[in-house]
Amino acid sequence: MAIQDIRPGPAARPRPAGPSRRDAVDSRRLPLYSAGEIDVPFVVEGMTEFIPCDTFWEEHSHPTHELLWNRQGASSATVGRRIWTITPTAGLWIPAGTPHSGWAPAGTWHRSAQFGVHAVPSISDRPVAVEVTPLLRLLLDRLDTGGIVSEPRSRTEAMVVDLLVPAQRELLLQIPASPLLAPIVAAVRDDPADTTTLAVWAARLGVSTRTITRAFRSETGLGFSRWVATARVQHAVAMLTRGDEIDEVAARTGYHSVSAFGVAFRRITGLSPGRFRSQ
């Protein structure tokens, strides 16, 4: 099996944040492998790819552990009903054998690294966010350069593995499965500027506000307002990474002021929108 056959793109297709830059969508299909099913000859092997059009990777899995991040742009990875946003600083570790799918809009510079299960234990038994620090990025870049000989490469790989730890925050959205919540989920993901209140949704759906709140908490761990804010921030991250102005992003994600947007964004990500974009 050639190495390129087990290298994925970023990992199910979210609603795009804003208009696509291309009409066509490149849909890619990759195999499903169990952990260690293929004995790879490397410890760490990286790949860089510019994504020229909106691209969707159907569900697949790898015999290797995988780290996803971007040199430029925001993409997403979906495992079950969980959707992670991936940026140049927010990466995602996917343990070997974990089925996942992916989405990257046109213009994304996608990065990935595969880790042989024979040499690198997984940092988690489930997918987990990883902060891609400047040092980690430099080390991964060094491994991608040609001509690095065995001993320096081994030292660099050891440093990379040492720096791989779960991040304190994740750009993660849990999609509830309940039919009751499906209209809310569809509305917010189709239009993050939708400002329909909990009370209005309860009236539309013929239930109490408490019923909706309990359903969200049971399925996602978040209340209605926090879930909506998280969904909006996922869209906002994609727009900020793309270079959109902060006031435009605020308006297009349902906030009446930049300051209100900033408070919500900081609560979810730990950073202001400006600081996030400057990373």
Could you give the CA distance from residue 277 to residue 246 in angstroms, rounded to a whole number? 9
- For the chain, state the CA radius of gyration: 19
Task: Tell me the pLDDT tens digit for each residue of 110-151.
Answer: 999 999 999 999 999 999 999 999 999 999 999 988 778 889
Q: Which residue has the higher pLDDT, 278 or 171?
A: 171
DSSP H or E stretch at residue 156: helix 150-163
Instruction: Tell me the average pLDDT of the chain.
Output: 90
Task: Record the tokens describing residue 131, joined without a space.
Answer: 């902060």
DSSP H or E stretch at residue 227: helix 224-242
Q: Are 56 and 14 in contact (CB under 8 A)?
A: no
**pLDDT at residue 12 greater than cutoff 70:** no
pTM for this prediction = 0.88
Could you give the CA distance from residue 231 to residue 86 in angstroms, rounded to a whole number? 14
Q: How confident is the model at residue 148, as a pLDDT? A: 84
Residues sharing a CB contact under 8 Å with residue 96, sequence separation 6 or more, in sequence order: 33, 34, 35, 36, 61, 62, 63, 64, 65, 66, 117, 122
Identify residue 66 by its one-letter amino acid code. E
Q: What angle do CA 107, 81, 130 make, to 5 degrees?
A: 60
Task: Tell me the pLDDT tens digit for each residue of 101-112.
Answer: 999 999 999 999
Q: How confident is the model at residue 41, as a pLDDT? A: 93
